[in-house]
């Protein structure tokens, strides 16, 4: 079993829809959580960073963390064709030497006109 599970999609939605992307994890040591957006053949771009349970909002993006359920979500409101990309969840253990990130496989999102 992978430490981080993420549905690979693809997920296709019409422009303007609300998108929900999710990850589950098994390692209780993970204490901080990130969402990255990755366009084809590009590096991951940091969208959201959070370290506590609850919601964090930034523009059209809302990150939600439920540590008790080991479940995190990213919501995208008013989705645009430019949001079409792969979305990666990542999480880190602050007690480790490296504070390295463990990633999900990524969910491919397609926003259609």
Partner 1 sequence: DTGVSQNPRHKITKRGQNVTFRCDPISEHNRLYWYRQTLGQGPEFLTYFQNEAQLEKSRLLSDRFSAERPKGSFSTLEIQRTEQGDSAMYLCASSLPREAFFGQGTRLTVV
Of 62 and 105, the one with the shorter C-beta distance to partner 1 is 105
Q: How far apart are CA 87 and CA 75, in angstroms?
A: 11
Q: Residue 29, interface with partner 1 (CB under 8 A)?
A: no
- Choosing from 90, 93, 109, 111, the residue that interacts with partner 1 (CB under 8 A) is 90
Q: Which one of 13-21, 55-63, 65-73, 103-111 is the stretch in contact with partner 1 (CB under 8 A)?
A: 103-111
Of 61, 57, 67, 56, give the one whose Cα is nearest residue 18. 61
> Mask of contacts with partner 1, 5-24, x by CB under 8 A?
-x-x----------------
What is the closest distance, in whole angstroms, from the C-beta atom of residue 113 to partner 1 in the complex? 26
C-beta separation of 75 from 20 below 8 A: yes
Which residues, numbered 63-82, are part of the site for partner 1 (CB under 8 A)? none
Helices (H), 5-113: none
Q: Are 15 and 81 in contact (CB under 8 A)?
A: yes
CB 55 within 8 A of CB 63: yes
Residues that bind partner 1 (CB under 8 A): 4, 6, 8, 32, 34, 36, 41-46, 49, 51, 88, 90, 92, 94, 96-106
């Amino acid at each position: 079993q992978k430490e981080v599970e993420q549905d690979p999609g693809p997920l296709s939605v019409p422009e303007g829809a609300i998108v929900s992307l999710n990850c589950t994890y098994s390692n209780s040591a993970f204490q901080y959580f990130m969402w990255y957006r990755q366009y084809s053949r590009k590096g991951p771009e940091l969208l959201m960073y959070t370290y506590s349970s609850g919601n964090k909002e930034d523009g059209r993006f809302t990150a939600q963390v439920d540590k008790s359920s080991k479940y995190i979500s990213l919501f995208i409101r008013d989705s645009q064709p430019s949001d079409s990309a792969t979305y990666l969840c990542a999480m880190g253990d602050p007690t480790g030497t490296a504070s390295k990130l463990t990633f999900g496989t990524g969910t491919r999102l397609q926003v259609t006109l």
